[in-house]
Amino acid sequence: MTELPDHLKKRAAERRAQLAKASGDAPEEATTDAATTDQPVAEVAAPVAEVAAPVAAAAEAGSGQITDDKGGVPAHLLERSRKRKAALAGGEGEEVSGGGVATAVKAAPIAAPTGTGPDGHTQRLLTVVKSGSIQQTRGEAVDKVHTWPHLLVVEFAATLACSAMVLIFSALVRAPLLGLADVNQTPNPSKAPWYFLGLQELLTMFHPMVAGVTIPGMGLFLLMIAPYVDKTTSNRPEDRKFAISVFTIFLMFWAVLVIIGSFFRGAGFNFVFPWNDGIFFEL
């Protein structure tokens, strides 16, 4: 037989002593040590069941038995709760009528609920969880769109708009083409197209390796790493200081070089002031 815990043995001995005292008999077993008592659980709970039986019968006679589940709670749990409430509401000396005979029922004393059980054991009541009430937690929605069609459609529309603008401009504006080139006569100054004047201006200041490879390569490298350094998704300029600063410096540096090469370089590609010697630049 399974060995009963010490605190259950102690509670059984105290309960037998109370029953013996209530019936007027001497509490012979009250002095028995709870640790040496070794009776089955059914024998210990028998006196309690005898006292609680009339109370349960009275509760069952007062109202109908619950047999249907409600709100996902099993019927036997609802019936147990109903009987418990009926027993608490009955109290002492409640008269129950059944089969034409009036019987006085004395409810057993009910101890006040406490936070801990016997010997300080903490008790915890588990609740019944409805089936399907626990839902899987999902990640929060992220503000992202697919490359196709959301991004590529916008880029394609921008490409068509730029192409149409260039086509209309070239049809309406007369291109300033010069005469045929003469190998025996070189224009002075000889300037590259405006989009290459920045490189031509750098060639007048640095070695061709530095002006044609190192400086432009550093600018392109900074532009390439800008998205990896500044990962902010905000569109506000104050939140994108690094990316905006790098692009602004690169743009202004190249614009200054193009302006100097276009308007401040004269014969022999020497530095001149346009308001003194004129402008040596043709579209």
Q: What is the pLDDT along the chain (283 residues), one digit of tens a residue?
A: 567 778 888 888 888 888 888 876 544 444 444 444 444 444 544 554 554 555 455 445 445 677 777 777 788 888 888 888 888 887 544 444 444 444 444 445 555 555 555 566 565 556 655 655 556 666 666 677 788 888 999 999 999 999 999 999 999 988 777 778 888 888 888 888 888 999 999 999 999 999 999 999 998 898 888 888 888 888 888 888 888 888 899 899 999 999 999 899 988 889 899 898 888 876 5
The C-alpha atoms of residue 6 and residue 65 are separated, in whole angstroms, by 37
Q: For 187-283, which CATH class? A: mainly alpha
Q: How far apart are the first and last CA of the chain?
A: 110
Per-residue H/E/C for 176-239: CCCCCCECCECCCCCCCCHHHHHHHHHHCCCCHHHHHHHHHHHHHHHHHHHHHHCCCCCCCHHH
Please list, in sequence order, all residues whose beta carbon lies within 8 angstroms of the beta carbon of residue 46, skipping any fewer than 6 positions away.
none
Of the candidates 69, 41, 197, 189, the one whose C-alpha atom is nearest the C-alpha of residue 131 is 69
Q: How is the chain split into domains, by residue range?
A: 6-120, 147-176, 187-283
